[in-house]
Structure 1
Amino acid sequence: MSEIIYKILSINPGSTSTKIAVYENEKELFRKTVLHNVAQLSSYESMVDQLQMRKEAIMNCLKEEGFLVEELSAVAGRGGKLPPLKQGAYKVDNEMVDFLTYRPIDDHASNLGAILAYEIANATNIPSYIYDAVVVDELEDIARLSGVPELTRRASCHVLNMRAVALKTAKKLNRNFRDTNFVVSHMGGGITATVISGGRMIDVLTDEEGPFSPERAGRVPCRQLVDLCFSGKHDRLSATKRMRGQGGLVAYLGTNNALEVEAKIKNGDKYAELVYQGMAYQVAKGIGEMATVVKGKVDCIILTGAVAYSSLMTEWIVERIGFIAPVEIVAGENELEALAYGVLRVLRGEEQAHMFIAP
């Protein structure tokens, strides 16, 4: 019996780009990145206003590749700022599109993922889905406690890539995903970590609670932060930027580029080495923190994200965490593939898609 062939378009909108790829089952047919003119983007009042411009860009890419939309089996879009969701797939429908268009939790580029998928899929009467949206929240109640009742800990991490690399690693180890405990650290512009136990992400370190990163301050001394906010040096916007965008490597070394930092280290810059090693030190501490959630019973630790391409960074981290469990390095972000593979499991009947219910 011949294998059924499914063709899936994956769409991942970013703040200044739209990335797409088409897959035939697990095989990538082609991948494109459309860079959007910053001046043009500034003319739009909201992300949703960019819908038609981005849709046209996607359709032009498909046309350039000689690929017909009618060949598609489904369209997968990056999940946006919806209320907390379960892991896995959600079918995109009018209710979800309406929420993302008129009531999004935040005006974020990822909101366009579902809407673009829905628009393109509807034209040929095929289904559209989001998968492992940025708002997946499976925290246990004990993990929500922060120490201040008014401040509830929330799940916020690189869900799509983290779960995808965990599924890949389980397959590589010939283990049932739901019988494993993984600690995953995603290292990009922000750094997050999660513990996946029994297939669920039961706790996370957000990019505000864990290590400093190329652009984020991460966890900082709270009393000093309060003092800084009331020092008269910052308003709300500038204080936020100091923590997100102007923190981490940017604050210490004036760059968010790990390659530039490594070049400084190679040229003998001891301060750059201290800071870069400090980032590795904090990543390792965060992984150790996550390991305690499952009482040290960790089957594998996974390092992923763009910074995982740095052998210097991963070597420093592995030196500190190798005693906990074996370490797998799965560098890169792989979001387009993760979207396609997730939807492929739905089309094959291996997973069931959820339906979105607006609050």
Structure 2
Amino acid sequence: MTHILAAGDHFVAASLFIDAIRARAPREDLTFSSITLPWPHTPFGPIGSVHEASGSVPELIDALAGARIAVTQMAPFTAEVFAHAPDLRLISVCRGGPVNVDLEAATQAGVVVSFAPARNAVAAAEFAVGLMLSAMRRIVTTDSELKAGNWRGDYYAFENTGLELDGATVGLIGYGAIGRIVARILLAFGTTVLAYDPYANPAALAADGVEVVDLEDLLRRSSVVSLHARLTAETHHLLNAENLALLPHGAVLVNSARGGLLDYAPLPDLLRSGRLGALALDVYDVEPPPPEWPLFSAPNVVMTPHLAGATQQTAHRAASIVSADIARYLTGEKPLHVANPLVLDTLAETARP
């Protein structure tokens, strides 16, 4: 028998995992147990050596008793967990990256870690375009004004009106799965799309109708800039006071990717000076932002609480992607999306006669 722990939460429930695995691997030798982690009702955060995790290490250790496979979105797989889970051989994390797993400890323990790339790409791309439109057309600001009893007809004055996507130039920083979908949507609006991504294939971008440029050129030419890069040591504060000054006066900036990509300190002054015409944010350098955060009182800011990937389709897609890799593992195939392939190489070497 192979025992599987489904560590779900209030977005991707344990039952979604179990149903998806049973559909992909209809075997009689599988047994299941489950726990429900408190996210998103309780914010995620660092736990031990991992980031963006939910729940507790002792709870997870107890739940893993006898489990050979674990599937989760947020459970904290720290070095301590691996030390107390000798039967564990596979963890499937239904996120774009397994940031809640100590990969070094997993590799040392001989545990394969799989993940779910692009699970929320459609949701995040649609949300980013929604943020653009909300910021460019003052949708959130005027909604709040009207609900407060203020009929702001002065927003029809030329200097207060918004911008259209048709004919605009939008710069995308990062052109992975999400950036590519954003570009496709924007091109349908009649937008000129620029992209900066050192790792992208220029020929592929050209085939998509997107112009590849360097970062400075993108910032100088774009009336709207949207972030879609991964956060690494290399991309931390990729946009900062120095290069944000290159933006055209009145430009719109959107960040629905990662808070660390953007230096938030200069943004209030850029908004008040008009260098930034509007700012739309779904992610922050500190989540949630503190009550005294300067951007709460800055003009023309749209803010949402890290919701870009929050759709029912994302939850189902996430469970489907990881269950497919679990099914491959159960039949002796290599999972497609492995964060520590060295473990697979070691297992293959050990299995040789």
* TM-score normalised per structure 2: 0.33
Query: Whose Rg is larger?
Result: 2
* TM-score normalised per structure 1: 0.33
